[in-house]
Amino acid sequence: MSTSKTIKSALISVFHKDGLEPIVKKLNELNVTIYSTGGTERFIKDLGVNVIPVEDVTSYPSILGGRVKTLHPKVFGGILNRQDHEGDVAELAEYNIPQIDLVIVDLYPFEKTVASGASEQDIVEKIDIGGISLIRAAAKNFKDTFIVSSMEQYDEFLEVISKNNGETTLAQRKKFAAKSFNVSSHYDTAIFNYFNEDEVVLKTSEQNSKVLRYGENPHQKGYFFGDLEAMFDKLHGKELSYNNLLDVDAAVNLIEEFKGEAPTFAILKHNNACGFAQRDTIKQAYIDALAGDPVSAFGGILIANTEIDADTSNEIHSLFCEVVIAPSFSEEALTILKGKKNRIILVQKEVALPKTTVRTCLNGTLVQDKDNITDKLEDLKYVTNHKPSESELDDLLFASKLCKNTKSNTIILVKNKQLLAGGTGQTSRIDALNQAIEKANSFGFDLNGAVMASDAFFPFPDCVEIADKAGVKSVIQPGGSIKDQLSIDYCNENDLSMVMTGTRHFKH
């Protein structure tokens, strides 16, 4: 038996009518019998095309304010019958059920309604019942029925029927069935996640996907699932890579800590800040951020919390960097930065960031709340005899925000709201501190009067002793060690100040 089928009848019931007109006209040209409901039926009639109301088939009107229109055996029998099954064919004739070869559906916009801030009543009314049932029925019976389940598929479907005069292959029908189950599962996931308040269940579905040049390394395939256009306006440069995206994510999360503050500039490499400064102008913030580690800045990701102007762009332009991100750029700044054809320029939009983090682990998935605590002045516990000065407090909180966004184990050294150096991703806190001190010294920074931030407590006083001998005068750390007093005692004996936040900021 041939697996090719010629479409002779169609049921069309869609929310979005955009792009539907050429399909209706092509079906009419192919002498396809069209059945429809409600607004779609009126749309087809207005095109001057004959259409049979579903009510004429079911002998039942649309009821309950339109909630029930297509949910009827004469509709679903026409879709689900097996045309090579003698019993099914006989029952179609017995009950006067029309054969339906094609179903076109576009579901109520549930997600858009939720995103619009609509009332619960309006959101619930946008849960499609008939449409989702039609999709599942037609997709299940793909051997005989063609299903178009979204307006995004209109163009591709029109091409199929136009090329072959309404004839479809089994492969085409199965392909569109797969698309349909993707649509229906995504739709149900969105509904569940809207209603769910108590179940600890991981249900994710992302329709937008992008094939990346490669993954972390050239031999690995890479994909991004998400809506980058909602997050950024890309103004220039090559496509973002897998590693670019990881660095951009780290940059966005870091700069979020300094939203609304004085001009702040960060330079990141491998997800960690290698340069960071806050100044009266964004140009000076960039210059001082770059001074923190001009070697690592090569090929880095740059991000600012305020508009980048021409003067700043002139400074940036001499540096090879992968990505530059800011809430806006002056026209002259853009002209300068576009001088490097591959440099990626992104305007960051006001978009809420996810509240959870998700990553694969072993043969499963780890999910956690995002670390959404930013250490504040009112959180601090003053544990030493000597109290930090006002400027030291500013630097301590500045360093704490940086520390929170740096790979553990980490130590951050800051002076005058400038990152002097960081020890990142070390297996011991002493190694992290020694790395930071050595790095700061290698770039000529004077650590006298600097402050130190740690992402976790000090189990022994060795770190504060090493920091003291390097010139550090104040320390911020979460506390919580059974031997906290040893570090406190050292600070008291050597005229250092220390504050504790009560919040650990591990980042693995």
Report the catalytic residues: 140, 270
The counts of H helices and E strands in the chain are 19, 23
Alpha-carbon gap, residue 150 to 175, rounded angstroms: 14
Alpha-carbon gap, residue 69 to 54, rounded angstroms: 8
Q: Which two tokens stand for residue 33?
A: 């019998």
Q: What radius of gyration, in Å, describes the C-alpha atoms of the chain?
A: 31
User: Three-state secondary structure along 211-252?
Assistant: ECCCCCCCCCCCEEECCHHHHEEEEECCCCCHHHHHHHHHHH
Question: For residue 409, is the peptide bond before it cis, meaning its omega torsion is within 30 degrees of 0?
Answer: yes
Instruction: Mention every residue, 6+ apart, whose C-beta is less than 8 A from residue 305.
Output: 255, 258, 259, 260, 261, 263, 264, 265, 327
Phi and psi angles of residue 55, each rounded to the nearest 5 degrees, phi first? -60, -30
Instruction: Mention every residue, 6+ apart, whose C-beta is less than 8 A from residue 198.
Output: none
Phi and psi angles of residue 415, each rounded to the nearest 5 degrees, phi first? -150, 125
Alpha-carbon gap, residue 2 to 297, rounded angstroms: 64
CA separation, residue 134 to residues 38, 70, 138, 348 (Å): 16, 8, 6, 40
Cα within 13 Å of Cα(418), Cβ side: 21
Q: Which two tokens stand for residue 491?
A: 């600070």
CA separation, residue 191 to residues 127, 203, 356 (Å): 8, 11, 19
Supply the DSSP string of 423-447, one letter for each residue.
Answer: E-S-SSHHHHHHHHHHHHHHTT---
CB-based contact 114:21 (threshold 8 Å): no
Alpha-carbon gap, residue 219 to 255, rounded angstroms: 32
Alpha-carbon gap, residue 424 to 403, rounded angstroms: 9
